[in-house]
């Protein structure tokens, strides 16, 4: 190689090198470009190797030119590398990044539990009739849960078989919302018009129609001159609001220690109209117990049982919800299965 050829090659290689480096689209491309322009087999390296064969003056000039080209290409490679690294990082960022222009994915709103929905609807029917909501504790003493309700210590309902006692003597999980009748009457003089919705506990084996925790809505009215007709009328008004205007209410004799007379309430089946079908069997759907408040219960709360009479009933909230929404297994209310629960979205 002569000095003139060496000069030409250096200029060509500078131009070719800068072009290759500039076009490298990735760090791998850049590495390949570096090998192609400065590698052992590159024309540039051949020039460098032939420097020794030139005369002094050419060797000095060409040596300087070779250094310049190497430095220029080296600097171009480093610049391009820095640029590609910045791009790579920016690419990663945008790949994982949040696109703030996309519509958001908000958490899915929950909905009310079907029992909450039905309880609120039931309460509303009564508050529209002038009733007030009363509440009581879920851990009760035996006076409010039993004695004051005319359930003496030797009554079978008191045994461990039905009730869930806690470690504190004389305290248990309330077995019925009727305990709230006592608390209400103890806290105010008549007249009384209250409904007490809430959770109750019993020792039950769980199946499609029994849970050991369930909900009742207790209704209590005490005033002068109330009779069984008022009980039936109230129950019927409730049934019309909840199940429809054609539904009839029925009361049949039953026994509860805290009422006299006592009754079982049922409403005519809304599916078959009372003729009898798969849902109801005999045309009636049982709703709970009822009756005229026992004079002893009124006296236990300091009310004058000669002057005042009252009626009370306890509706099962699960039962009302099952009838109203065609639910055939009570366990669905406590299993928390979203496929069941989401069917009540937007119901109330
Ligand atoms: N407390 C009774 C029960 O749980 C229902 C009831 C309420 C009966 C009020 C009469 C009066 O079965």
| pLDDT number for residue 34 | 92
Whether the predicted pLDDT of 162 surpasses 70: yes
Ligand 1 atom, smallest distance to 181 CA: 9
The distance in angstroms from the start CA to the end CA of the chain is: 94
| pLDDT number for residue 237 | 95
Whether the predicted pLDDT of 155 surpasses 90: no
218-230: per-residue pLDDT in tens?
999 999 999 999 9
10-56: per-residue pLDDT in tens?
999 999 999 999 999 989 999 999 999 999 999 999 988 898 898 89
Strands 192-201 and 132-133: parallel
Mean pLDDT, residues 54-83 taken together: 91
Confidence of residue 320 (pLDDT cuts 50, 70, 90): very high
| pLDDT number for residue 271 | 78
Confidence of residue 293 (pLDDT cuts 50, 70, 90): very high
| pLDDT number for residue 323 | 85
Using DSSP's 3-state secondary structure scheme, residue 251 falls into strand
pLDDT above 90 covers a percentage of the chain that reads 67
Whether the predicted pLDDT of 92 surpasses 80: no
Ligand 1 centroid from CA 258, angstroms: 8
| pLDDT number for residue 161 | 67
Whether the predicted pLDDT of 98 surpasses 80: no
Mutate to test the pocket of ligand 1, among 176, 213, 309 (most ligand atoms within 8 A of CB): 176
Mean pLDDT, residues 75-82 taken together: 92
Mutate to test the pocket of ligand 1, among 175, 256, 317 (most ligand atoms within 8 A of CB): 256
Ligand 1 atom, smallest distance to 177 CA: 1
Ligand 1 centroid from CA 180, angstroms: 11
Using DSSP's 3-state secondary structure scheme, residue 72 falls into helix
DSSP string over 181-203: HHHHHHHSPSPEEEEEEEEEE--
| pLDDT number for residue 270 | 77
Q: Is the CB of 313 under 6 A from ligand 1?
A: yes
| pLDDT number for residue 160 | 65
Q: Is the CB of 201 under 6 A from ligand 1?
A: no
User: What is the dihedral angle through the alpha carbons of 78, 79, 83, 84, rounded to the nearest 10 degrees?
Assistant: -40
Mutate to test the pocket of ligand 1, among 184, 204, 314, 315 (most ligand atoms within 8 A of CB): 314
Q: Is the CB of 310 under 6 A from ligand 1?
A: no
Mean pLDDT, residues 234-244 taken together: 92
- φ/ψ of 251, rounded to 5, equals -120, 135
Within 8 A by CB and 6+ apart from 25, the residues are 84
Mean pLDDT, residues 265-284 taken together: 86
Q: Which residues pair with 220 in a beta bridge?
A: 194, 312
Ligand 1 centroid from CA 313, angstroms: 6
């Amino acid at each position: 190689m002569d000095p003139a050829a060496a000069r030409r090659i250096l200029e060509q290689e500078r131009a070719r090198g800068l072009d290759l480096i500039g076009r490298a689209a990735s760090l791998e491309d850049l590495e390949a470009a570096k090998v192609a322009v400065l590698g052992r087999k590159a024309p540039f390296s051949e020039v460098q190797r032939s420097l020794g064969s030139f005369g002094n003056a050419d060797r000095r000039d060409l040596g300087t030119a070779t250094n310049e080209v190497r430095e220029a290409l080296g600097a171009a490679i480093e610049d391009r590398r820095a640029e590609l690294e910045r791009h790579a990082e920016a690419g990663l960022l945008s790949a994982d990044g949040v696109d703030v222009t996309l519509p958001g994915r908000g958490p899915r709103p929950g909905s009310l539990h079907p029992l909450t929905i039905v309880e609120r609807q039931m309460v509303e029917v009564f508050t529209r009739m002038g009733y007030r909501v009363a509440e009581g504790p879920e851990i009760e003493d035996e006076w409010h849960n039993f004695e004051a309700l005319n359930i003496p210590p030797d009554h079978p309902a008191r045994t461990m078989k039905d009730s869930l006692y806690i470690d504190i003597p004389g305290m248990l999980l309330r077995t019925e919302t009727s305990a709230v009748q006592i608390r209400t009457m103890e806290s105010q003089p008549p007249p009384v018009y209250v409904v007490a919705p809430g959770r109750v506990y019993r020792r039950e084996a769980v199946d499609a129609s029994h849970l050991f925790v369930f909900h009742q809505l207790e209704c209590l009215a005490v005033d002068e001159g109330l009779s069984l007709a008022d009980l039936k009328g109230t129950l019927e008004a409730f049934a019309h609001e909840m199940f429809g205007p054609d539904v009839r209410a029925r009361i049949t004799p039953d026994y509860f220690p805290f009422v006299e007379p006592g009754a079982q309430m049922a409403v005519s089946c809304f599916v078959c109209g009372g003729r009898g079908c798969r849902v109801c069997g005999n045309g009636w759907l049982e709703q709970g117990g009822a009756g005229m408040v026992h004079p002893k219960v009124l006296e236990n709360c300091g009310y004058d049982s000669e002057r005042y009479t009252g009626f009370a009933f306890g509706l099962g909230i699960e039962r009302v919800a099952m009838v109203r929404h065609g639910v055939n297994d009570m366990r669905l209310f406590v299993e928390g299965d979203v496929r069941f629960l989401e069917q009540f979205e937007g119901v109330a």
